[in-house]
Structure 1
Amino acid sequence: MRKRLPSLPLPFCAVGWSNNKRIAIVALIVAVLVAIAATVAWLSGNGNSPQSPEVATAPPADSPSSSEAAPKPATGSGAVPAPPQIAEPVAYAKAAAQMLWSYDTRDTGRDQQLAGMRAWMTSETAYSDWASVSGQVPDPLLWSRMADQDQYATASVTEGHYPSAFKQALADDPSAITQAYIYVVTVNGKQQIAWTKGGGGAEARAETLAVQCRPNHDCSLAAIAPSVTQ
C-alpha cells in the first residue's frame, strides 16, 4: 500500500517540463505583453489618426494548429467519453488514462477521437500541451487500416500515484502549486486490443499525466509527461 500523498503537490512545470515547453510559455507571455503595450500606445495617441497595428492572421487550413489542434466533427465524439466532473487529481488522471488507452474504430472516426480527447484538455493554453496528447492517435492512413479491421481497445486502470520526484519537489517548495495548480500523476493499467476474426492481445500500460485542478473547479488534462517516473 502506497503512502497517502500530501494535498498540495507542485505544478507539472517543476518536474519533467521540457525546455521547448518552457520557451513556448515564455514566448506566449512576451507576445501578450507586446500586444497589450501596442494597444495602450494606440489608445493613448496624440490625436493623430493612428495606423492599425498588424495582427496575426488565422493559420492556413493545413496548419497543425487548425484542424488537428481543434477538430470539430459534426457527428460528436463517437466512443470517446465526456470528461468527468472530478476535482481530485489522481482520480481524474486515472479516468484520463483509461480514456487515452481506449478507442473504437467501428463507430468513431479519427477526427471524432481527437475532438473527444480535446474536450478533456485545460482551456488555459499556457499550460496545455495538446501535441503530447493528440500524438497518441495514429495518423489518418493507419487509423483507416485499423477501421478496416474493426479494431478497438478497452482499458482498465489498476492504480494511480504521485511520482516520488513530484513529492520531493513538494517538500522543497510547497507554495509553488498556487501558480498553475497542475499535478503530476503516474497511472498503471492494462490495455486489451481486439479486431476481426478473433484477433487480439493485451499489454500493461503506464502513463504519467499532468492534470490541472484549480480550487473549486473540476480537473482537466494538461499534458502527457515525456517519461514515466516512479
Structure 2
Amino acid sequence: MPNPFTSLSGYGATWSTKRRVLLVAVAITALLAVASIAAWFTGNDGPRHEGSTTPSATDSATASADPTQAPTSSGTGSVPRPPRISDPLAYAKAAALMLWSYDTRTTSRDQELAGMQAWMTTEAKYTDWPSVSGQVPDPVLWSRMHHNAQHATAKVTDAHYPSAFKQALADDPSAITEAYLYYVTVTGTQQIAWTKGGSGAEDRAVTLAVQCRPSHDCALAAIGPDVAP
C-alpha cells in the first residue's frame, strides 16, 4: 500500500506575509540584524552544531527538564501540554517533538490545532500562529490520514543556537532584552506508521523562535526562517 503520509513538519510552509514581515523586523531589531536568513526550512538536511555556551542553555538544564514526558492535555487528544521550563533549548526540543509527533487515530484536526495553540506566546506582537498552524494538513488530508490510522513519533538528536544568533548576542548582549526571542535549530528523526504495518522514517530539522522572558516559562513564537548554522 502506498505511504499516505504527509508530514506535519513539512506541510504548509508558506508564511503569513504580514506576520512574517513583522516577526523578522522585530527579530532584526532585537538581535542586531541577524545575518544570512535563508529560505524557509524544508524539513530535511538541517544544519548541525555543537552545544551552545549562551546563558540559560546548559546541557544539565536540558536533561533535567525531560520535556518529552509532558502529560496529555484534556481536549487536545495526543498533543502534550507545553512544559513549564525557562531554558530555550529545552523548550525548543519539546516543541519540535510536539510538531513532529501526532496520532490521527485519537486526535481530530481541531484538537491538534488547539493543542498546538497552547504552546504559543500570548504576546500578539511576537507570535506568528500561521507559521505553526500551517504545519497541520487541511481537513480532507487529515481525514485520509485518520482513515489510514497514521501516527508518528519523534526523537530529537540536537538543539543549538545558530551561529548568527550567538554572534549577535556576543556583539550586544542587551539586544535580547526587548523581546527575549531565542532562535533554536532542532534536528531529529520522525518515525511514521499507518495501517497494515506500513512505516517509514525521515530526518527532520526546524528553526524555532522561542520567547523566554526572565521569571516566566518559555513559549513558542514561530517556526522561523533558517539562519546560518
Same fold (TM over 0.5): yes
CA–CA separation in structure 2 for the residues paired with 1:124 and 1:194: 36
C-alpha displacement at 1:19, in angstroms?
7.8
1:159-198 Cα distance to aligned partner (Å, 9 max, x none):
1000001011112221111111110000010000000001
What letter is aligned with 1:200?
S
CA–CA separation in structure 1 for the residues paired with 2:169 and 2:203: 29
CA–CA separation in structure 2 for the residues paired with 1:178 and 1:86: 18
CA–CA separation in structure 1 for the residues paired with 2:187 and 2:92: 10
Q: How many residues align?
A: 166
What letter is aligned with 1:224?
I
Residue 79 (structure 2) aligns with:
80
What letter is aligned with 1:117?
M
* Kept in 1: contact 2:20–2:128 (CA 8 A): no
Change (3 A) 1:179 1:19: farther
Residue 157 (structure 1) aligns with:
156
Any idea what SS the aligned residue of 1:127 has? Answer: coil
CA–CA separation in structure 2 for the residues paired with 1:228 and 1:79: 31
Residue 117 (structure 1) aligns with:
116
Residue 171 (structure 2) aligns with:
172
* Kept in 2: contact 1:206–1:228 (CA 8 A): no
* Kept in 2: contact 1:208–1:229 (CA 8 A): no
C-alpha displacement at 1:131, in angstroms?
0.5
Name the larger-Rg structure: 1
* Kept in 1: contact 2:164–2:227 (CA 8 A): no
Residue 60 (structure 2) aligns with:
none
Change (3 A) 1:215 1:134: same
CA–CA separation in structure 1 for the residues paired with 2:88 and 2:105: 31
What letter is aligned with 2:159?
G
Matched-pair identity in % = 72
Residue 52 (structure 2) aligns with:
none
Change (3 A) 1:151 1:171: same
Any idea what SS the aligned residue of 1:128 has? Answer: coil
Residue 132 (str. 1) matches residue 131 (str. 2): yes
For residues 1-230 of structure 1, what are the structure 2 equivalents within 5 Å? 20-21=18-19, 24=22, 76-227=75-226, 229-230=228-229
What letter is aligned with 1:131?
P
* Kept in 1: contact 2:211–2:221 (CA 8 A): yes
Unaligned runs of 5+ in 1: 1-16, 26-74
* Kept in 1: contact 2:78–2:107 (CA 8 A): yes
CA–CA separation in structure 1 for the residues paired with 2:104 and 2:20: 35
Unaligned runs of 5+ in 2: 1-14, 24-73
What letter is aligned with 1:210?
A
Any idea what SS the aligned residue of 1:217 has? Answer: coil
C-alpha displacement at 1:82, in angstroms?
0.4
- State TM-score, norm by structure 1: 0.68
Any idea what SS the aligned residue of 2:125 has? Answer: helix
Two-structure CA RMSD over aligned residues (Å): 2.1
Change (3 A) 1:119 1:18: closer
* Kept in 1: contact 2:154–2:191 (CA 8 A): yes
- State TM-score, norm by structure 2: 0.69
CA–CA separation in structure 1 for the residues paired with 2:211 and 2:82: 13
CA–CA separation in structure 1 for the residues paired with 2:100 and 2:116: 11
What letter is aligned with 2:182?
Y
CA–CA separation in structure 2 for the residues paired with 1:228 and 1:156: 22
